[in-house]
Amino acid sequence: ASDVYKRQVWKTIAKGKPWTDPDFPPMAKSLYDPNVDQVDEAQYKSFSWKRASQIYKPCYVFEDGVEPNDINQGQLGDCYFLAALSSLAEFPERVKALFVTKEINKAGIYMVRLFINGNETPVIVDDHLPTLQNGQPAFATCRDGELWVSLLEKAWAKLHGTYARIEGGLPCFAASHIMGVPSESHQHDEVEDFEKFFDLLQSADKRNFTMMAASHGQGENRNAEGVISGHAYSLISIHKVKHQG
């Protein structure tokens, strides 16, 4: 199946004419379904669509390298997905391996690989992106203006049916579908031996595991330690610090 999709992509690129995805078109129905998705309809109706070439000049999928802090969330509540992506970005080649099409093309067609329930699944998207009234992207972007973040988010949204449907989730769920490997989660309030748990995290870090963290609650309120409620974080490295106070 993957080879069939690849041939379709290469043929479309060879034609050189702008391509629009008929299965996930730049229309309101790809943003949200009013019968299913509970969203601020006024906000979603204010979004328009632009091709990436209309937003970025020049336009790149990858250009200045891939780093965990490249990702800017935007107005969609999919921090769980972006946290998993950011953790993976610690290993740039793993992110690039998700892309079958790594270069910009005039057709605006891109193919990525995700893993649905462990099965490698090709996802084809065009480069139409939802935009704000000022013409800038409404959802996730790369701080360097590269497209890899927006295209992966769009592929994730296409798999779910709408952008609105990818709001809210757990990083471990996203990680399994991005990387195609099992993930496990640990509830902080269920940890009985924190020294043993810290050793587990440190061991995982040394073996180049991708790790994320998530906080309880809603509303994104910041607590005294600076942790935002109802938010997801990328865990980039583990350190033991000696405090003298």
CA distances from residue 69 to 57, 88, 168, 234 in whole angstroms, order as listed: 22, 11, 21, 10
Grouping H, G, I as helix, E, B as strand and the rest as coil, residue 119 is: strand
pLDDT for 29-72, tens place per residue?
999 999 999 889 999 999 999 999 999 999 999 998 899 889 99
- Choose the weakest-confidence range: 32-46, 142-156, 199-213, 215-229: 215-229
pLDDT for 158-177, tens place per residue?
999 999 999 988 888 999 99
Q: pTM, whole model, 2 decimals? A: 0.87
CA distances from residue 88 to 39, 85, 94, 98, 228 in whole angstroms, order as listed: 29, 5, 7, 11, 22
pLDDT for 121-140, tens place per residue?
999 999 999 999 999 999 99
Burial of 245 (0-12, 13-18, 19+ CB in 10 A): exposed
